[in-house]
Amino acid sequence: MADQHHDTPMLDELENGPWPSFISGIKRLRDKHDDKRISGMANDLLGQLEHSYETRKGYWKGGTVSVFGYGSGIIPRFSEVGGSFPESKEFHTLRVQPPAGNYYTTDMLRQLGDSWEKWGSGLVTFHGQTGNIMFIGTTTENTQHFFDEINEYGWDLGGAGPCVRTGMSCVGAARCEMSNLDEMKIHRVLLNNFTDDVHRPALPYKFKFKVSGCGNDCMNSIERSDFAIIGTWRDDMKVDQDEVKKFVARKGREYVIDNVVTRCPTKALSLKDDDTMEVDNRNCVRCMHCMNVMVKALSPGDDKGATILIGGKRTLKIGDLMGTVVVPFMKLDTEEDYERLVEMAEETIDFWAENGLEHERCGEMVERIGLVNFLEGVGIDVDPNMVNDPRQSSYVRMDGWDEEAEKWFNRKAEEKAAAAG
C-alpha cells in the first residue's frame, strides 16, 4: 500500500491558498523520504485524513499509552479505520519539554531529528500551544524506545492531562533589552520543583507556569497561565534625552506625538518644546508601547522585580480569564526570593488541589469561591495594588476602605521596622 499513493483531491485544495499548508509537509515525507516506513506512514495518514474529509467524521480514538514511571506526556491516537490505513493505525504524539527560553543549538535539533526519524514518523511541531516540542506519530512500542533514547542525552517529557504542564519563558535578558528578570532561572526553578506534578497527574485539571520578562508579555502569560510571572520595575523609567532628540530629529515631532505621546493609555508622556520627553512616572502603567517605539531613548528602571498573577485561562467552564494580580511586586534577586516564589506556587497548587472541582482551572475556582477566600487560603495579605482588570479595578472594597487602609499601613510599618532592626 505504501507504494501506491492514496488519492487526496480534497486535501490538495488546502495547498492552493496563499499560505503554506501542512499537507505539503506530509506529502514531502511521503514522496521524498528515503525510509519506506516513514513514507508509508505519511501516505496512510493522508489517506485517513482524506477519508475524514469525505465522511465529515474523525476516526482517531484515545487509549492508554505511557512510558515506564510516567503518567503523562503522551497523547494516544489509535485509528478506527486502521484496516484501510494500516501504516498509521497507531499515531501517538509525545510532548517533550523545550529548553527555557526555547534556546537550541543546531546539534541539539539534529540529534532530536535523527532520533525521531529512527523511531517515529518524522513529523515535528516547534512548538505546540502547550509549549512542548510535539513529536507526532509513532507506535506504542516505539514510544518507549524514542523516550529512552532522548532521555539518555538529556530530554524529558512534558505534561498532559490533570497535572502541572510544561512551563514557558520568553527569550529574556539574553536577547531582549526590555527584560526585568532572570527568566530562564525562574523557569527552571519552578519546573524542577514540580517535576513529580508534571509526570504524575493528580490535580483537578491542568496548571501552567509562564514567565515573561516585561509587560509586552510575549508568552501571553496573563491569559494562558494559571501562575504568571511578569517582569516590571517600581522606580522611574530611564530616559536618555540625547536619544530622544535624535529620534525626534529623525522621525519628526508629529510622528512622536501621534505614535508615542497620544498612545500612552494614562497620558503619562509629554514632548517638550526643546524635544525632550517628560514622564509622569506615578501614572505609568508599564504598557511598554513607548519603549517599543523609542528603544534607545526609553528603557525600564533599575529597581526590577516581578508581578505575580493567578488564574489566567482560555474558555472552559466559563469564558476566558485574565490573570488576577495577587503580588504587585516582589524582588527576585536572592535564593531566598526564589524560595518564596516556590512556596507561593506550592501553596497555590495545594489549595487548588484541595478545593478545585474536577476539570476546573485555578482561575475558575477563584471565581467560584471568591478572591478573599483564595487569598486567605494561600496566606497572601490583601494589598490595595491588587487589580482584577489591568489598570482598572481594585480588589479592596470601598465600603471598608478606612479599615483596610489602616491594616495595610500598619503592615508596611511593621515590615519597615523589621527590616531596620
CB 328 within 8 A of CB 386: yes
Distance CA 198, CA 236 (A): 39
Q: Classify the phi-psi angles of 51: left when phi > 0, otherwise alpha if psi is within -120 to 50, otherwise beta.
A: alpha
Least Cα distance to 351 among 330, 317, 380, 374 occurs for 374
pLDDT at 401: 66
In the block, cell 506556587 appears at 345
Cα 84-87-92 angle, rounded to 5 deg: 110
Provide the pLDDT for residue 393: 47
Which residues are within 8 A (CB) of 181 and not within 5 positions of it... i.e. 6 or more apart?
A: 172, 173, 211, 213, 229, 231, 304, 305, 306, 332
The helix or strand, by DSSP H or E, that contains position 327, with its residue range, turns out to be strand 324-330
Q: Is the pLDDT of residue 3 over 70?
A: no
Residue by residue, DSSP assigns 241-305 as HHHHHHHHHHH-HHHHIIIIITT-TT--EEE-TTS-EEE-GGG-----HHHHHSTTTEE--SSEE
Q: Is the pLDDT of residue 100 over 80?
A: yes
Please give the distance of CA 363 from its chain centroid, rounded to a whole number: 16
Residue 372 CA to residue 381 CA, distance in Å, equals 9
Predicted local distance difference test score (pLDDT) of residue 411:
87
The pLDDT of residue 397: 54
156-204 pLDDT per residue, tens: 999 888 999 999 999 999 899 999 999 999 999 998 999 999 999 899 9
Q: Where residue 399 falls among pLDDT bands split at 50, 70, 90?
A: low
Name the strand (E) or helix (H) holding 326. strand 324-330
The percentage of the chain sitting over the pLDDT mark of 90, rounded to a whole number, equals 77
Domains along the chain? Answer: 1-160 (3.30.70.2500), 168-231+306-380 (3.30.413.10), 238-299 (3.30.70.20)
- pLDDT at residue 400, as a whole number: 66
pLDDT, averaged across the chain? 91
pLDDT per position as a tens digit, 114-133: 999 999 999 999 987 788 99
C-alpha to C-alpha distance for 359 and 336, rounded to whole angstroms: 34
